[in-house]
Structure 1
Amino acid sequence: MAEDGTGYDVARIEVLDGREAIRKRPGMFVGSIGERGLHQLVFDAVGRAVDQFLAGRCGSVDVTLMVDGGVRVADDGLRDPFGIDEDTGAPGLEALLTGFPADHWPNGRRSVTISHFNVGLFVVNALSSRLTAEVRCEGGYRVREYACGAEVGPTTAVVKSTAGNGTTIAFWPDTGIFETTQCSFAGLAARFRQLAFLNRGLRISLTDERPAGGTRAVSFRYPDGVRDFVAALDAETGTPFGRDVIGFEREDPRMAGTMEVALAWGGSDEERTLGFANSGATVEGGTHLDGFRDGVTAAVAAYVRGQGLPAADADLCAHRIGTGLRAVVSVKLDRPEFLGSTRGLLGNADVRMCVGEAVREHLGAWFEERPEQATEIVDRIVRGTHEL
């Protein structure tokens, strides 16, 4: 009840819908009107392209930061129609750019989680003063243009193009909404490098046309996926271990998904274990990391017992298992369950058991095949030192 006694009733409620709501309250959709929110737009545009890669429809994604503040995201996908996909029934570009499809939230192992929000192309379109979508296929291409989320004019169709197949989304973040339209080259490059590690075989590049001194560019592709990731983690410490990275990939129907795990000991005593679910960082942990630690502990303890070492040594292993450990645990699930809106903590109960079992079996087999290295690793854990 207001002081003047007029009160607050349904007549005073302002209802916002669609792109109007997004433009009125951008922070609800991208978290910030500063650089962080700006990067969310880039990540959501890139996410669509990476989804195409995961579906086996493209092999590379090229991101360009243009001189005029625009961002261009291009892929080499074979087919990405404006309308409904006749083969899969999935919504085409038109639906993604002009509304929230019923299944737009990350759902399935072929839906990558790049940002905390993952609200898709509709938000990118609504928060851009201008956006163009171009689809190239079978010798021709179609172009559609939007302003602040609304379509501008009819679709332009051109035939006999030699540009090859693929889709290009170019957008210019609205300067009336964002405090800055200058993306951080280093910030984007770091996330794209991570994506390339987590999606083996994906080539993703970032080109910056803005520097006065000339264009700068980086390109990432890692054929060994998370194994390359672990090797890079250890190299960053300045004390590389120079030994094999232990790694494996497995699909388990009990958790409705796949796991990709890589680990190694060496270099320094510091532990660095990273977890990801559907390519998104789980900074708060979760069942996949719990299962990983269960599996490593079980494998090391079993080796200690098998060597006839004292039971006390097995107990020490459980506490010192992370000494010098570098590891990446990546799961891709059909139905990921996150505890919290930021998707930082994975909650799928079956994942812990499945990952733990797989790690115990694979690491145990690796110990048996390489007894000399296994002895060195276990001895290091028991003594709590990095001197191998």
Structure 2
Amino acid sequence: MTEEEKINGESNYSASNIQVLEGLEAVRKRPAMYIGDISSKGLHHLVYEVVDNSIDEALAGYCDHIEVTINEDNSITVQDNGRGIPVDFHEKEQKSALEVVMTVLHAGGKFDKGSYKVSGGLHGVGVSCVNALSTHMTTQVFRNGKIYQQEYECGHPLYSVKEVGTTAITGTRQQFWPDATIFTETVYSYDILATRMRELAYLNAGIKITLTDLRVKEEDGSCKQEVFYSVEGLKEFVRYIDSSREHLVNDVIYINTEKQGTPVEVAIMYNTSYNENIHSYVNNINTIEGGTHLAGFRRALTRTLKKYAEDNKMLEKAKVEISGDDFREGLTAVISIKVAEPQFEGQTKTKLGNNEVMGAVDQAVGEALSYYLEEHPKEAKMIVDKVILAAQARVAARKARESVQRKSPMSGGGMPGKLADCSSKDPEECELFLVEGDSAGGSAKQGRNRTFQAILPLRGKILNVEKAMWHKAFESDEVNNIIQALGIRFGVDGEDSKEANIDKLRYKKVIIMTDADVDGSHIDTLIMTLFFRYFPQVIQQGYLYIATPPLYLCTKGKVKEYCWTDQQRQKFIDTYGGGSENAVHTQRYKGLGEMNPEQLWETTMNPENRMLKQVHLENAAEADYTFSMLMGEDVGPRRDFIEKNATYANIDA
């Protein structure tokens, strides 16, 4: 965009475009209502809210560079080269438009349809929410050749907007210090921010996002920095997600069009795996629960592929009925649409409800896929052959499930024999512990509260479903025991489907409890891979947890204390041993089986004392890439990952 176009844009974007919906008072009292939560997730959401404003400027055509900096004091700076927030007088509010944007909830240009056709941001609370949850915030606007500034404390302006200098650039610079009295975590993770910035760069081709961490110095003395920039957008995104899988077809089937007034961008790849990996976005928001755009995509894919296969008489020899699931096995796709007024619904408000979008995506994908198949008959045959194999495997999976249900020794109610169930039948209060090893399982059974805690011991490492054909999971005793115990079914009304049905889930807390060592971590990952690939709804709805048994029992005389970290252990030594390690007796727990039932209950199972880590699906595309890289066939990327992270991780904890 030229400077002249930018200036014209500035003249059309002024105080009259800023509409006020409601005040800011409740944000500090109930922060979780506005940003999701007050842990690490909410802390990082503050950055996303500010960056979303810059992305909106980019989508409107006025910005192509966003700089995000983690400062040495753990504050955040975000600067863009957009038009700059308007600073002229807002008639209704009787103050500068900049002050309105920064101090009034739901005030901003995105509510005025003339300013932004579409805008991102899941909660739509805007930068004023960030301001309210920061002890200090400084805003600088570069506009009209001048620098305007205002500072705030806990959302309250310290002075009126003032000119502090002149400039040749345009844009907005925000710096904020998150309030430690509100957030339980105040240290920013470079990797979490990098993941989101990478995603935004792929979703918005042509926008450069620079992430700098002033807290970390590289060997050459420079600060840690990455630049995220994508020329081809979703084509590069789908290749990144699929980079550790073997490609069935090397082409990316790419669609970038507008149908019925809705911009639709889709990238599709087929690989040799047995999973379906579709990642959908609306206005840069990851719609992890899908919605109408995903339904339109699936409908078009099934219809178009089936018609091509039938027209070319490719299904006659298969002698098996093809279902929608079969067309999506080994598929990786990213769907990104832009909607002026998205309607979100579902458990986590990340399911798109706009009905008009289904037809737009269906039409766009149907047309482009038909054209691709006709133009690439060799690749089309490979895809259809893969579909037929998937159908045959699905039938085998059904037979394996039925066979297992007939043969396996079940306790009352069709449950696995090894399951020690709880007496309560209310899923809301019931917990299932997936416990590594029979000895630890025995301790857990004795130590638990039998009213609401169930125990399922697992023998050894469960099947790595990342490398296995779909039906092989149902031939694995340990995997099948987990599925049976949870009450998960696949398909609805007897229909063959890979879609997990968790309507009859028997426990609303599923807790992975393994040893605090490398083997335990591997088992954690195997179980999480199973959940992510076979029944991700359990993760999406927040039902999956990891137990954290203590690493040490420290004693000095009659004083005993369990320690979960080396820092806690050192504190005990400093407090009771005068800093001398020899003055304190330390017992290192290598495995759960080393604890007696009372200790296991007291440290790891008692809801009043235990520490549970909830498994979040913060970024499904990144999780997809990570699971396929860590658990797949390709050794190279996994080795690089371990070498990069081993220095930071305590691999024995």
Measured against the shorter chain, the TM-score band is 0.7 to 0.9
Determine if the alignment matches structure 1 residue 130 to structure 2 residue 124.
Answer: no
Question: CA deviation digits over 1:267-305, x for unaligned, max 9?
Answer: 423221111111111111111111111111111111112
Say whether the 8 Å CA contact 1:206–1:219 is kept in structure 2: yes
Determine if the alignment matches structure 1 residue 224 to structure 2 residue 224.
Answer: no
Residue 311 to residue 334, structure 1, CA distance change in 2 (3 Å):
farther
Residue 248 to residue 149, structure 1, CA distance change in 2 (3 Å):
same
Say whether the 8 Å CA contact 1:117–1:342 is kept in structure 2: no
The CA deviation at 1:373 is 1.2
Output the TM-score relative to the length of structure 1. Answer: 0.85
Amino acid at match of 1:243: N
SS of the residue aligned with 2:241? helix
Partner of 1:360: 366
Determine if the alignment matches structure 1 residue 142 to structure 2 residue 148.
Answer: yes
SS of the residue aligned with 1:178? coil
Determine if the alignment matches structure 1 residue 246 to structure 2 residue 281.
Answer: no
The CA deviation at 1:106 is 7.4
Say whether the 8 Å CA contact 1:95–1:101 is kept in structure 2: no
Residue 34 to residue 40, structure 1, CA distance change in 2 (3 Å):
same
- Give, in whole Å, the separation in 2 of the partners of 1:19 and 1:341: 26
Amino acid at match of 1:318: G
Partner of 1:49: 54
Partner of 2:157: 151
SS of the residue aligned with 1:244? coil
Residue 85 to residue 193, structure 1, CA distance change in 2 (3 Å):
farther
- Give, in whole Å, the separation in 2 of the partners of 1:326 and 1:202: 24
- Give, in whole Å, the separation in 1 of the partners of 2:112 and 2:42: 23
SS of the residue aligned with 1:210? strand
Determine if the alignment matches structure 1 residue 351 to structure 2 residue 357.
Answer: yes
The CA deviation at 1:64 is 0.5
The CA deviation at 1:212 is 5.8
Partner of 2:193: 188
- Give, in whole Å, the separation in 2 of the partners of 1:239 and 1:102: 48
The counterpart of 1:381, out of the listed 373, 383, 387, is 387
SS of the residue aligned with 1:251? strand
- Give, in whole Å, the separation in 2 of the partners of 1:378 and 1:194: 31
What pairs up with 1:27-46 in 2 under 5 angstroms? 27-46=32-51
The CA deviation at 1:92 is 4.2
SS of the residue aligned with 1:296? helix
Partner of 1:275: 280
- Give, in whole Å, the separation in 2 of the partners of 1:233 and 1:245: 12
Say whether the 8 Å CA contact 2:262–2:360 is kept in structure 1: no
The counterpart of 1:100, out of the listed 95, 99, 105, is 105
The CA deviation at 1:53 is 0.6
Partner of 2:241: 233
After superposition, the CA RMSD in angstroms is 2.7
Say whether the 8 Å CA contact 2:107–2:126 is kept in structure 1: no
Residue 20 to residue 335, structure 1, CA distance change in 2 (3 Å):
closer
Partner of 2:459: none
Amino acid at match of 1:371: P
SS of the residue aligned with 2:27? helix
Question: CA deviation digits over 1:296-316, x for unaligned, max 9?
Answer: 111111111221234585942
Worse overlay, 213-222 or 38-47: 213-222
Say whether the 8 Å CA contact 2:108–2:126 is kept in structure 1: no
Say whether the 8 Å CA contact 2:57–2:83 is kept in structure 1: no
SS of the residue aligned with 1:197? helix
SS of the residue aligned with 1:269? coil
- Give, in whole Å, the separation in 1 of the partners of 2:90 and 2:293: 34
Worse overlay, 98-107 or 31-40: 98-107
- Give, in whole Å, the separation in 1 of the partners of 2:109 and 2:147: 26
- Give, in whole Å, the separation in 1 of the partners of 2:161 and 2:110: 27
The counterpart of 1:328, out of the listed 325, 329, 334, is 334
The CA deviation at 1:317 is 5.7
Amino acid at match of 1:382: I
Say whether the 8 Å CA contact 2:56–2:120 is kept in structure 1: no
The CA deviation at 1:105 is 7.5
SS of the residue aligned with 2:307? helix
Partner of 2:262: 257
Partner of 1:62: 67
The counterpart of 2:312, out of the listed 307, 314, 337, is 307
Residue 268 to residue 340, structure 1, CA distance change in 2 (3 Å):
closer
Determine if the alignment matches structure 1 residue 372 to structure 2 residue 378.
Answer: yes
Say whether the 8 Å CA contact 1:29–1:119 is kept in structure 2: yes
The CA deviation at 1:340 is 3.6
Question: CA deviation digits over 1:300-350, x for unaligned, max 9?
Answer: 111112212345859426341112111011111112111247331111112
Identify unmatched segments of 5+ residues in structure 1.
1-16
Amino acid at match of 1:221: Y
The CA deviation at 1:72 is 0.3
- Give, in whole Å, the separation in 1 of the partners of 2:251 and 2:385: 18
Amino acid at match of 2:126: G
Percent identical residues: 35
Residue 308 to residue 107, structure 1, CA distance change in 2 (3 Å):
farther
The CA deviation at 1:180 is 2.6
Amino acid at match of 1:233: I
The counterpart of 1:113, out of the listed 117, 120, 124, is 120
- Give, in whole Å, the separation in 2 of the partners of 1:277 and 1:356: 16
Partner of 1:289: 294
Worse overlay, 119-128 or 138-147: 138-147
- Give, in whole Å, the separation in 1 of the partners of 2:39 and 2:217: 24
The CA deviation at 1:24 is 1.9
Question: CA deviation digits over 1:56-87, x for unaligned, max 9?
Answer: 1110111101111210000011343223699x
